[in-house]
């Protein structure tokens, strides 16, 4: 989810994103996930579409917005 968001917004672009520190395990996991998306060649538009579909499916799965 994070990787799709970052690729979809391109903020900052992956090539100029800062690298997490040696003990920032969460930061490393996030940057690695984003790097996998970039390596797969996913465009910003594709990431936005995939993100929206994923969020909608999670909303349905967990009953968000239903009474």
| Helix H or strand E encompassing 4 | helix 2-9
pLDDT tens digit sequence for 20-58:
999 999 999 999 999 999 999 999 999 999 999 999 999
Provide the token pair at 28: 């490393």
| Helix H or strand E encompassing 27 | helix 25-39
pLDDT score recorded for residue 64: 87
pLDDT score recorded for residue 65: 77
Provide the token pair at 19: 């690298």
The predicted model scores a pTM of 0.83
Query: Cα(49)–Cα(41) distance, rounded to whole angstroms?
Result: 14
């Amino acid at each position: 989810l994070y990787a799709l968001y970052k690729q979809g917004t391109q903020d900052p672009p992956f090539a100029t994103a800062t690298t997490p520190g040696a003990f920032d395990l969460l930061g490393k996991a996030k940057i690695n996930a984003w790097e996998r998306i970039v390596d797969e060649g996913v465009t910003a538009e594709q990431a936005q579409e995939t993100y929206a579909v994923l969020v909608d499916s999670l909303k349905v799965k967990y009953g968000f917005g239903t009474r």
